[in-house]
Amino acid sequence: MQSFVTLDGLVAPLDRANVDTDAIIPKQFLKSIRRTGFGKYLFDEWRYLDQGQPDMDVTSRPKNADFVLNQPRYQGAEILLTQDNFGCGSSREHAPWALLDYGFRCIIAKSFADIFFNNCFKNGILPIVLPAKAVDDLMGQVKAHEGYRLAVDLPAQTITTPDGEAIPFEVDPFRKDCLINGLDDIGLTLRHVKDIRAYETQRKTRAPWLFAGN
Amino acid sequence: MTAKTLFEKVWEAHVVRMDGDVALLYIDRHLVHEVTSPQAFEGLRMAGRTPHRPDFTFAVPDHNVPTTGRELGITDPVSRLQVETLDANCEQFGITEFAMGDVRQGVVHVMAPEQGIVQPGMTIVCGDSHTATHGALGALAFGIGTSEVEHVLATQCLIQKKPKSMRVTVDGTLAPGVTAKDIVLAVIGKIGTAGGTGYVIEFAGSAIMDLTMEGRMTVCNMAIEAGARAGMIAVDEKTIDYVEGRPYAPNGNDWDQATAWWRTLHTDAGAKFDAEVHIDAASLQPQVTWGTSPEMVTGIDGKVPDPAAEPDAVKRTSIENALAYMGLKANTPMREVTIDRVFIGSCTNGRIEDMRAAAAIARGRKVAAGVSAMVVPGSGLVKEQAEAEGLDRIFIEAGFEWRDPGCSMCLAMNADQLAPGERCAATSNRNFEGRQGKGGRTHLVSPAMAAAAAVTGRFTDVRDLT
């Protein structure tokens, strides 16, 4: 996994609550058996006016000029700023894959849905929850100032605004460590394989039916 | 002894080790489908790993499978490759699969309880958010992403922080025509789509315990629509009777030992929850969603809301966006909203009881002119049972299509989709923009309400038809 330490990036505002993973990456693109290549279909139904299909050449597709990511000022954005309950609905990890492939490494929201939040950390994306007032203030700033950037420092757990204000954020210590070091948590868990075997042995005594096989 | 919740009992039985407040949680059964697993199997291969417990892993293709003309196979080459990839992965790693030609094939969350793979007190995961369904049997079941699918394949464990607990108590007696689906839609309407975020919800109270197992599965299935990764319901004799005799259920001495533990799987008197919600069952009407989030719901006597009456700016914008997408005007009575399509099926409402409820309304009636209606049983065995009861004849005579099992138009990954602007009464779980096809407009309802909409061409109180 790609590590995440610091990021100084352009911010794009997605000023909607309850953005679901069906909106982030529509179902027809889930037929792929790969992990990559989803970025061009990110927010497909909002970004394009036609009906998107897998393996389509997106360069000739009609774009929805009103959609925020199609505005020239937000090209190259690496930080997405949004409202409550981002990533709700389906568990599809294709959603963080699409965001990452598009170029987003950090998502700042008032709140996230659990499965999506978890999936971000497995893919080197840092999801940050900020209080409602802080998100509202940033949303105003981003819209008012073209080229608005934020500097995210994961070890220090701060977001620094262009005028030097440092906004602190919380992050789980275990997830922080994995993200900074780009750790594969399967490797971490396999270090405990003895404990897993020991658990299975005692569980087999207490709940033999689980191991009976059929 | 401290009083414990149902969730705590199941959680504590599965903790392999703790590192600070992070648990390594053992997973008893891993369900796999074709959409969220190919990258996980590929990851295993690239790392030279093999599944830790292929015998605890069960697979079924459901999202991409066609619901008609199955003898022709899957015509879409991209869908076909995904299903064939699942077949090949199961073959390579020795995983039991209920493949497309198998009568047991169906929506993973219908198939697994039906086969007795899901049992009380188990931890169950699947790369699918509706895994919450299985909490109806007193299991701790939740959806995971593909990286976690790979993690469970490789280790049979997950790294988890203990979630908070919420109890939703639904007491009282439901009015006739009001169902499990209406309960859960009302719960989501009350607590919101993020109301359960960070929690496991235990559904309790007399109205929940009075539900059949199928009804309990409908309720737990949609816990995720309230933001909760898992919903759970205490084990009672109904649960145990449901599991008994199923192909993967314990036998002999194992059965006695299993049921002795299962009977302890309920919340002790005095156990504490982090949050409590109460709902009066008698106050509920049949529910209909009007918007693009399951929390945008009202009773059948209700109206489309007026955004002007919403003081919160973000919510007001959400309502305005939803009404624009749904093509609805503020203050329109739900009973005046006409429909084009009906979808009866899905992991929420694709079980035999759902087929019976819809057939009871369809019997002797005709699908309204201009409406196209389809019934998609949740599994091959549900289909077989429904046909043995003559339900297929009732549907076909009424003008419904009677299809083969799969996820179908719940998420429209196969050919079953809405055209832009089409309005659908659906028994599925999500009314998100584009969920059933780009520009499609979804209203979530119970099976009986969907059948009522089919035969009248508009949303109708099912109680007016009985």
Residues B252 and B21: their CA atoms lie apart, in Å, by: 39
pLDDT at B1: 72
By CA distance, what is B250's nearest residue in A?
Answer: A209
pLDDT > 70: what percent of chain B? 100
Mutate to test the interface with A, among B18, B78, B164 (most CBs of A within 10 A): B78
Neighboring chain A residues of B13 at a CB cutoff of 8 Å: 203, 207
Neighboring chain B residues of A112 at a CB cutoff of 8 Å: 197
Distance from CA of B447 to the nearest CA of A (A): 22
Residue pair B465/B325 in contact (Cβ under 8 Å)? The answer is no
Residues A90 and B398: their CA atoms lie apart, in Å, by: 34
Distance from CA of A84 to the nearest CA of B (A): 8
Average per-residue pLDDT in chain B?
97
Residue A184's pLDDT band, with cuts at 50, 70 and 90, is confident
By CA distance, what is A190's nearest residue in B?
Answer: B155
Q: Which of A186, A193, A214 is closest, CB to CB, to B248?
A: A214
Mean pLDDT of B83-104: 97
Distance from CA of B133 to the nearest CA of A (A): 14
pLDDT at B195: 97
pLDDT at B416: 93
Token pair belonging to A32 = 């792929």
pLDDT digits (tens, 9 = 90+) for B178-201: 999 999 999 999 999 999 999 999
Token pair belonging to A122 = 């497995």
Which of the 8 DSSP states describes residue B192? Answer: -
Whether residues B143 and A173 touch (CB distance < 8 A) is answered with no
Whether residues A214 and B128 touch (CB distance < 8 A) is answered with no
Size of interface A-B (CB pairs under 8 A): 185
Secondary structure of residue A151 in the 3-state scheme: strand
Mean pLDDT of B335-348: 98
Residues B152 and B65: their CA atoms lie apart, in Å, by: 25
Q: Which of B67-76, B82-91, B257-266 has the lowest mean pLDDT?
A: B67-76
Neighboring chain A residues of B255 at a CB cutoff of 8 Å: 209
Q: Which of A35, A88, A213 is closest, CB to CB, to B194?
A: A88
- Chain B contact present for A132, CB below 8 A: no
Reported ipTM: the value is 0.95
pLDDT at B78: 93
Q: What DSSP element (H or E) covers B456?
A: helix B447-456
Residues B78 and A109: their CA atoms lie apart, in Å, by: 34
Q: Which of A20, A23, A186 is closest, CB to CB, to B154?
A: A186
Q: Which of B55, B129, B317 is closest, CB to CB, to A90?
A: B129
Residues B323 and B306: their CA atoms lie apart, in Å, by: 9
Quick check: B466 pLDDT over 80?
A: no
Q: Which of B47, B143, B314 is closest, CB to CB, to A115?
A: B143
Whether residues A212 and B157 touch (CB distance < 8 A) is answered with no
Residue B98's pLDDT band, with cuts at 50, 70 and 90, is very high
Q: Which of A27, A196, A207 is closest, CB to CB, to B155?
A: A196
This prediction has a pTM of 0.97
- Chain B contact present for A115, CB below 8 A: yes
Neighboring chain A residues of B347 at a CB cutoff of 8 Å: none
Residues B351 and A1: their CA atoms lie apart, in Å, by: 41
Helices B447-456 and B352-362, axial angle in degrees (round to 10): 30
Distance from CA of A91 to the nearest CA of B (A): 5
Whether residues B64 and A207 touch (CB distance < 8 A) is answered with no
pLDDT at B355: 98
pLDDT at A120: 98
Quick check: B255 pLDDT over 60?
A: yes
Whether residues A210 and B28 touch (CB distance < 8 A) is answered with yes
Secondary structure of residue B106 in the 3-state scheme: strand
Strands B199-204, B230-232: pairing is: parallel
pLDDT digits (tens, 9 = 90+) for A127-176: 999 999 999 999 999 999 999 999 999 999 999 999 999 999 999 999 99
Average per-residue pLDDT in chain A?
96
Whether residues A85 and B147 touch (CB distance < 8 A) is answered with no
User: Could you say which architecture CATH assigns to the domain A6-183?
Assistant: Alpha-Beta Barrel (3.20)
By CA distance, what is A206's nearest residue in B?
Answer: B257
- Region of B192 (left: φ > 0; alpha: ψ -120 to 50; beta: rest) is left
CB count in 10 Å sphere of residue B133: 34
Whether residues B78 and A88 touch (CB distance < 8 A) is answered with no
pLDDT digits (tens, 9 = 90+) for B31-58: 999 999 999 999 999 999 999 999 999 9
pLDDT at B162: 97
Residue A213's pLDDT band, with cuts at 50, 70 and 90, is confident
Mean pLDDT of B388-400: 98
Quick check: A214 pLDDT over 80?
A: no
Quick check: B454 pLDDT over 90?
A: yes
pLDDT digits (tens, 9 = 90+) for A17-42: 999 999 999 999 999 999 999 999 99
pLDDT at B300: 98
